[in-house]
Amino acid sequence: MNVIDLRSDTVTLPSPQMREAIHHAELGDDVFGEDPTVNRLEEMAAVRVGKEAALLVVSGTMGNLVSVLTHCGRGDEIILGDLAHTFIYEAGGTAALGGIHPHTVPNQPDGTLRVQDIEAAIRPDNVHFPRTRLICLENTHNRCGGAALTPEYTAQVAGLARRRGLALHLDGARIFNAAVALNVDVKELTRDVDSVSFCLSKGLAAPVGSVICGSKDFVAQARRNRKIVGGGMRQAGIIAAAGIVALETMIDRIQEDHDNARRFARAVAGIAGLSVDLGRVQTNIVYFDVTRERPCAEELAKKLTSRGLKILSTGPNRLRAVTHYGISAQDIDRALSILADVCRAV
Ligand SMILES: Cc1ncc(COP(=O)(O)O)c(C=O)c1O
């Protein structure tokens, strides 16, 4: 059975061009700074997002961890959304390894944090409190349905950070999805942040890797912190080669994923027993709800899997579908017919 997997854009397989590039990659020891393919990827990534330097890391999780460790010391505090990936899904790494205290403020449904909430969360200089050092934003926002934060909003938060002597980090795992959805150059979304980490996997479909970008000094310190967490890789050009192809060939096609997500969501809205907020479908992530008592989301996901459609259950009544490279408009139509069939039968 040909399975359609919409659980996540992390399930993408490398393109033929990536496999070819991996095969022919020129390699060296990257911990000595001698892997030409890694060096090329890092230069390309920095230029692409308008920063001085970049650092290849294993994953989005490591990108955020190393960035936060570089901005903060033990006992410092970060302000981030209560639905932030870093807060919920990164195993508490910043606290576990960095002794860095998370201070959450509510994420709004559009992925933003209210500027007044951030301001209120900044600690006064008082011996009782941790020291606030960093604000973290996420763009696009995973748990907020792939919402894209605008350049104007990012600039507003950056203005606050600057006024209060704080740094601003952007979890840009899907920053190119945001740029495509907003029809802006990605630099507009990264211009005002001190650091950004973005994924070469996910929307860009490389098999492994994320990149941290920032000033030369920041990246030099991040390189040391990457070593501390065991993330120094040797002939990492094997990974970087696919990352270069990802940056060269995978950004413009993201629109297709967004179109497919929209097509999927529109049809889900018409299936009895399901509901979706179409106004929230901006990029490649669609959250939708089961409105009947039974089956719950998990049962429905199991039934769908047995019919060849994988969708993630993310709560008692909530499901998530993510479009990505390798999923065509025809796959979406087939997915919808399986979904409609299964919902009709229950
Ligand atoms: C917004 C966001 N940040 C970070 C990550 C972590 O990336 P990784 O799975 O590569 O560690 C993810 C993963 O889905 C994500 O959605």
Which residue type, as a one-letter code, is found at position 297?
A
Q: Is residue 310 predicted with pLDDT exceeding 90?
A: yes
Predicted local confidence at residue 278, as pLDDT:
97
Query: Which among 150, 163, 172 is positioned nearest to 67, based on CA atoms?
Result: 172
- Strands 131-138 vs 76-81: parallel, antiparallel or unpaired: parallel
Local confidence band at 1 (pLDDT 50, 70, 90 cut-offs) = confident
Mean local confidence (pLDDT), 155-172: 98
Of ligand 1's listed atoms, the one at least distance from the Cα of 141 is 1
Residue with tokens 């748990």: 143
Q: Check pocket membership of 170 for ligand 1, CB cut-off 6 A.
A: no
The two tokens of residue 58 are 């294993």
The Å distance, Cα 85 to ligand 1 centre, comes to: 7
Predicted local confidence at residue 46, as pLDDT:
98
Q: What is the CA radius of gyration of the chain?
A: 20
pTM higher than the cut 0.75: yes
Predicted local confidence at residue 266, as pLDDT:
98
- Strands 210-214 vs 53-57: parallel, antiparallel or unpaired: antiparallel
Mean local confidence (pLDDT), 240-260: 98
Question: What number of CA atoms fall less than 13 Å from residue 264's CA on the CB side?
Answer: 32
Could you give the CA distance from residue 166 to residue 159 in angstroms, rounded to a whole number? 10
For 148-159, letters b (16+ CB in 10 Å) and e give bbbbebbeebbe
The two tokens of residue 208 are 């492994």
Could you give the CA distance from residue 301 to residue 280 in angstroms, rounded to a whole number? 22
Q: How far is CA 246 from the centre of its chain?
A: 15
Average predicted confidence (pLDDT) for the chain: 97
Q: In angstroms, how far is the first alpha carbon of the chain from the final one?
A: 22
Local confidence band at 308 (pLDDT 50, 70, 90 cut-offs) = very high
Q: Check pocket membership of 59 for ligand 1, CB cut-off 6 A.
A: yes
191-213 tens-digit pLDDT = 999 999 999 999 999 999 999 99
Pocket test for ligand 1, best of 140, 197, 202 (most atoms within 8 A of CB): 202
Of ligand 1's listed atoms, the one at least distance from the Cα of 210 is 10
Q: Is residue 293 predicted with pLDDT exceeding 80?
A: no
Q: Are 313 and 8 in contact (CB under 8 A)?
A: no
Q: Check pocket membership of 85 for ligand 1, CB cut-off 6 A.
A: yes
33-77 tens-digit pLDDT = 999 999 999 999 999 999 999 999 999 999 999 999 999 999 999
Q: Check pocket membership of 173 for ligand 1, CB cut-off 6 A.
A: yes
CA dihedral 110, 4, 179, 139 (to 10 degrees): 40
Could you give the CA distance from residue 258 to residue 48 in angstroms, rounded to a whole number? 21
Could you give the CA distance from residue 134 to residue 67 in angstroms, rounded to a whole number? 10
Q: Is residue 319 predicted with pLDDT exceeding 80?
A: yes
Residue with tokens 């095969």: 23
Of ligand 1's listed atoms, the one at least distance from the Cα of 84 is 1
